[in-house]
Amino acid sequence: MSAPRFERVALIGIGHIGSSLARVLQRDNLAREIVACDRRAETLDKVRSLGLADRVADDPAEAVRGADLVVIATPLSAYAEIGRRIATAVMPGAILTDVGSVKGAVVRDLQPVVAQGVHLVPGHPVAGTEHSGPESGFAEVFQNRWCILTPPADGDPAALARVSALWEAAGMKVVIMDAEHHDMVLAITSHLPHLIAYTIVGTATDLEESLKSEVIKFSAGGFRDFTRIAASDPVMWRDVFLSNREAVLEMLQRFNEDLTALQRAIRWGEGKKLEELFTRTRAIRRSIIEAKQA
Amino acid sequence: MSAPRFERVALIGIGHIGSSLARVLQRDNLAREIVACDRRAETLDKVRSLGLADRVADDPAEAVRGADLVVIATPLSAYAEIGRRIATAVMPGAILTDVGSVKGAVVRDLQPVVAQGVHLVPGHPVAGTEHSGPESGFAEVFQNRWCILTPPADGDPAALARVSALWEAAGMKVVIMDAEHHDMVLAITSHLPHLIAYTIVGTATDLEESLKSEVIKFSAGGFRDFTRIAASDPVMWRDVFLSNREAVLEMLQRFNEDLTALQRAIRWGEGKKLEELFTRTRAIRRSIIEAKQA
């Protein structure tokens, strides 16, 4: 499908991903008008000075009025409240989508309040850096990454096609799956890695002061890669873990069992076991390089 | 100190780091002759075709003969045997150093066999990529990274100065500490991160086949960074964990306690606790960027 064009796009929440999308819309001229909404005046000031929107608003209900595309790009904990406030304001025929990292919660919080005739297409562009705020976005962030859409079974095919085309215009490869499966896949590929990274960086933070400065100094030995991940937005990630609790705890349980086995192998000097695992994990890296996701 | 020059440098083990050092020696003309030693004929063939040494040998005793600098760059488990074989062959006045990631083990395995008049200067250039073998090395890998030297208290100052100058010529910043402290600092900055990365990639590998292909596909959400670390050399890392067992298990214990606390916070929906930790860890990242180690 060729690039879609929207009359008025309302971006509810305009941080790293929201502002990156705004830049795509502007670059490719995909919207006649962009309305940016954020609850923080400071963020809206930045949006204005960056020229990312035609209009700003701090009230979601006002922002969505007359929009044929509404994109929620806030932390997940804001969804329920936003849903309530925009419920009657979104115009019939409009598409409502989002960029959240958990999809079951979207269905739970938004589906019930979406008015008849509004097309809900939950989405998750798997892209982004560890930076936050509208100043950190850039149009190329989506390039060659996957966007997962989790439309309801009885969803409108035309709305799905338009949202797909939007993300494809941003350079993404679009894949459709159900929300529950999405949350399981992301629990292992994204949520657990973040949880682990936050933990180990936290463990290092709690070391005695003298050791801590050395941790920073010698971080190039591996630790540094974790700090990048553990620098991700605290509120966004708090919400991810709370919204995808079951899947995250399930994956964490598996990880814990594996870590305990490895710990035991180290304690008992079982070199063969260690070498076997480390050889196996090396193969996964090759698969990722072959899949061009490295 | 200006760049040192050696008559004959014997590189015992010539993989990623050994070959990177060979390239530095060649680039800056720091050795009249380079002798490369490896137990694998295949590796020596690569060294020959890459032109990394003036001479190759598969016998360490032969390689070190007449060398004024001997650098051991093999996995740690080979040290004891190499020590035995070169004990009487290293010439008096020569410097014996290494590049191993654990330093207590070096003192344990090498110190007893070093002949009178040979100067032992254990070292650890904290640098490298996840790739292995002589073809993966490059002279710039050391640039702006730290090199930790752990000389014995009664070590020869001139030998220490020459080894320092060598790594400085390679672009490194040199720091001196005792072996035990080195092993504690590296346990948290390097060994534990690798252990965790190996574990989580292993956990993902054990998922059902269908889920596994999706893990590769959607790895950009955080998992991918772990796979890079978990692609590091299996034998080298097996040896690191076995050689630094006590410090690794100590750090792992702390990590486990922190992970359990986080797991509990997720289970009980304690958002405030999560957000506080995630905010703290973000600050560490800033320190690393400020320290120019990002």
Residues 6 or more apart whose Cβ sits within 8 Å of residue B124: B99, B100, B101, B103, B147, B148, B149, B150, B182, B186
Tell me the chain A residues in contact with residue B220 when contact means C-beta distances shorter than 8 Å: 126-127, 145-146, 293
pLDDT the model gives residue B283: 86
Tell me the chain B residues in contact with residue A201 when contact means C-beta distances shorter than 8 Å: 281, 284-285
Tell me the chain B residues in contact with residue A279 when contact means C-beta distances shorter than 8 Å: 234
Distance of residue A102 Cα from the nearest chain B Cα, in angstroms: 12
Q: Which of A247, A221, A250 is nearest to B251 (CA)?
A: A221
Q: What is the mean pLDDT of residues A112-119?
A: 90
Mode of pairing for the β-strands spanning B55-57 and A146-149: unpaired
Cβ contact A218–B190 (<8 Å):
yes
For residue A104, what pLDDT band results from cuts at 50, 70 and 90? very high
pLDDT the model gives residue A284: 83
> At residue B16, does pLDDT exceed 80?
yes
Residue of A nearest to B241 (CA): A266
A38: tokens are 């954020």
Cβ contact A228–B188 (<8 Å):
no
pLDDT the model gives residue A293: 67
pLDDT tens sequence across B145-192: 999 999 999 999 999 999 999 999 999 999 999 999 999 999 999 999
Distance of residue A294 Cα from the nearest chain B Cα, in angstroms: 7
> At residue B8, does pLDDT exceed 70?
yes
Residues 6 or more apart whose Cβ sits within 8 Å of residue A116: A92
- pTM for the structure as a whole: 0.89
> At residue B1, does pLDDT exceed 80?
no
> At residue B42, does pLDDT exceed 90?
yes
Nearest CB partner across the interface for B281, out of A185, A198, A252: A198
For residue A278, what pLDDT band results from cuts at 50, 70 and 90? very high
Residue A262 CA: distances (Å) to CA of A128, A225, A253, A255, B199: 32, 21, 14, 11, 8
Nearest CB partner across the interface for A188, out of B188, B198, B204: B204
> At residue B68, does pLDDT exceed 90?
yes
Domains identified in chain A and CATH numbers:
6-177 (3.40.50.720), 181-290 (1.10.3660.10)
For residue A268, what pLDDT band results from cuts at 50, 70 and 90? very high
Tell me the chain A residues in contact with residue B229 when contact means C-beta distances shorter than 8 Å: 222, 225
Cβ contact B284–A230 (<8 Å):
yes
Q: What is the mean pLDDT of residues B255-274?
A: 96
pLDDT the model gives residue B218: 87
> At residue B213, does pLDDT exceed 80?
yes
> At residue B82, does pLDDT exceed 80?
yes
Q: What is the mean pLDDT of residues A79-100?
A: 95
Q: What is the mean pLDDT of residues B66-88?
A: 95
pLDDT the model gives residue A294: 67
Q: What is the mean pLDDT of residues A187-212?
A: 91
> At residue B262, does pLDDT exceed 80?
yes
Residue from A143, A213, A278 whose CB has the most chain B CBs within 10 Å, to mutate: A278
pLDDT the model gives residue B286: 83
Is the pLDDT higher at A56 or at A130? A56
- Of A117-126, B159-168, B278-287, the poorest mean pLDDT is in B278-287
Beta strand spans in chain A (E): 6-12, 31-37, 55-57, 69-72, 95-98, 119-121, 123-125, 146-149, 173-176
Q: What is the mean pLDDT of residues A44-73?
A: 97
Q: Which ipTM was obtained for this model? A: 0.90
C-alpha B67: how far from its chain's center? 23
Mean pLDDT, chain B, rounded, equals: 93
B45: tokens are 């063939």
Q: Which of A74, A193, A92, A60 is nearest to B215 (CA)?
A: A193
Cβ contact B188–A201 (<8 Å):
no
pLDDT the model gives residue B57: 96
Q: Which of A139, A213, A124, A218 is nearest to A176 (CA)?
A: A124
Cβ contact A220–B127 (<8 Å):
yes
Residues 6 or more apart whose Cβ sits within 8 Å of residue B4: B30, B162, B165, B166, B169
Nearest CB partner across the interface for B262, out of A199, A206, A220: A199
- Of A113-122, B209-218, B234-243, the poorest mean pLDDT is in B209-218
> At residue B77, does pLDDT exceed 80?
yes
Distance of residue A146 Cα from the nearest chain B Cα, in angstroms: 7
Using DSSP's 3-state secondary structure scheme, residue A146 falls into strand
For residue B294, what pLDDT band results from cuts at 50, 70 and 90? low
> At residue B80, does pLDDT exceed 70?
yes
Tell me the chain A residues in contact with residue B201 when contact means C-beta distances shorter than 8 Å: 281, 284-285
> At residue B3, does pLDDT exceed 90?
no
Nearest CB partner across the interface for B226, out of A193, A216, A230: A193
Residue of B nearest to A288 (CA): B216
Cβ contact B282–A234 (<8 Å):
yes
> At residue B293, does pLDDT exceed 90?
no
pLDDT tens sequence across A226-257: 998 899 999 999 999 999 999 999 999 999 99
> At residue A33, does pLDDT exceed 90?
yes
pLDDT the model gives residue A1: 59
CA A270/CA A267 separation, integer angstroms: 8
Q: What is the mean pLDDT of residues B276-286?
A: 89
Cβ contact A228–B285 (<8 Å):
yes
Distance of residue A31 Cα from the nearest chain B Cα, in angstroms: 28
Residue B98 bridge partners (DSSP) = B72
Distance of residue A271 Cα from the nearest chain B Cα, in angstroms: 6
pLDDT tens sequence across A152-195: 999 999 999 999 999 999 999 999 999 999 999 999 999 999 99
Q: What is the mean pLDDT of residues B257-279?
A: 96
Residue from B76, B251, B288 whose CB has the most chain A CBs within 10 Å, to mutate: B288
CA B181/CA A288 separation, integer angstroms: 36
Are B253 and A219 contacting, i.e. CB atoms less than 8 angstroms apart?
no
